[in-house]
Amino acid sequence: MAGRWNNANKKPPRRAAKEPPGVIPSLIEPQLATLVNRPPTDGDWSYEIKFDGYRMLARVEAGNAQLFTRNGHDRSDRMPKLCAALKTLPVDNVWLDGEAVVLDAAGTPNFNALQNAFDRRSTAEIVLFFFDLLYLNGTDLREQPLKARRALLAELLGEVHTDALRLSEDFAQDPESLVASACKMKLEGIIGKRVDAPYRSGRSTDWVKLKCLLRQEFVVAGFTRLRGAKTGIRALLLGVYEPDGSFRFAGTAQQNLRPSQIAALEKKAKVLVRKTSACYNAPAPEKDRDYVWLEPQLVAELSFLEWTPNGEVRHPVFHGMREDKPAAAVTEEPVVDVENGEPVEVQTGSTRVQPGRRGNVTLSGQKISNADRVIDPVTGMKKIDLVRYYDEIAEWALPFLQDRPVSLVRAPDGIEGELFFQKHEERMRIPGITKLPVALHPNHPSLLVVDVPEALIGLAQMNVIVMFS
């Protein structure tokens, strides 16, 4: 589309970082905010509403529009109206970061309505609020300060004539009064961002979130029903993963679902039922109810008052199921005291691979141990080289791996050491991996499927050098 945002009216752009000249990145990992217990007092900050929706990154190139979740899943086919609106942007190519929401009659984001829109595949009412501009007409803007990126974003969206694409306004007022206003409006909270900071994929304290209530994702470890009942869900049994990969019971939440939602959840749960709990600290049975335990694959979002000393949530409220985050990535979200410098594991840097301690690195949120260990003495290939390779080929490899059981060959001591063949997770927990229902392979553990890039990285971390699908 012709216009002043197109390259025809601009000087040749600066080369995009990490990509060949003129090539727009195929994927960008989003920046994530750190939960804090109070507003920061140092630095220059701006604040925005924390939308109750799904994180979405929009990519437009040569008239083609795509929408990606925070984990890199392409959801373009489920939101055709938004993709059509994105195609009207007067640009050659662009990456935008934002949130997909459905607004209620009062103009407030309604997460339940958003979930229903996706469940019913009726997404015409979804609105995209954009809060960052990452790439424009061959120029990578991520190294520019937020203030400059948002100025360009506001100018670009000012030329858009559709309510489907909107600017997320920012505020310079006292953050405590903003939080109070957000809570009064029954919003989730606010997001604070350093106006002088570049865009960094991963979680950092350059972006912080202040919530009215604690709120995060939980794995559905199972549910309860009245003793002897064959159907129905009385309460959800919640779980989170510990840093060492073990699975912890995190409390019980009374469900407030409509009958249709209960039926949909029971349908999903039917193929995931297991005899015992996956939690290492499962609660004791109760006389008046039955416990139905599930494979830890379903994810729900809940708000709650606080964490108890024994690691369970107090007064949880169910908000909806989440399909945009793998269960393996669900942990207890830490709250950071920014004033006292309470330690937080922050992923920063200009690449997806982040340095860590003792030779470890982090890629796409996953810790890679012994990254510098040589796995092929002949070529000198290191484990981190294998990880990077799997990460880079994910876009092309996943179509041949998705929905197909895989068999794995692991080389924990390098290709000259002992090799191990396996078709099941066994005692390992592979981040992002999909476990098929046991019914597909009776009397055996679940077969494995590689559906997302996180699973490929997880396999590299587990020293997998061969995959058969």
- Three-state secondary structure of 271-309: CCEECCCCCCCCCCCCCCEEEEEECCCCEEEEEECEECC
Q: Select which of 18, 50, 87, 367 is catalytic.
A: 50
Nearest Cα neighbor of 214 from 299, 301, 304 is 304
Output phi, psi for 77, to 5 deg: -70, -15
The pair of three-digit structure tokens given for residue 306, joined into one six-digit string: 């606080």
Q: Determine phi and psi for 231, rounding to 5 degrees.
A: -140, 175
Structural tokens at position 208 = 């912080």
- Judge residue 6's burial from the number of C-beta atoms within 10 Å of its C-beta, 0-12 exposed, 13-18 middle, 19 or more buried: middle
106: Cβ–Cβ under 8 A, 6 or more apart, which residues? none
**Amino acid at residue number 216:** Q
- Of 168, 205, 155, 216, the closest CA to residue 47 belongs to 168
Asked if 272 and 223 touch (Cβ cutoff 8 Å), the reply is: no
Q: Which residues of 306-330 are buried (b: 16+ CB within 10 A; e: fewer)?
A: ebeeeebbeebebbbbbbbbbbbbb
| Residue 50 appears among annotated catalytic residues | yes
Q: CB–CB of 438/294 below 8 Å?
A: no
Q: Which residues are catalytic?
A: 50
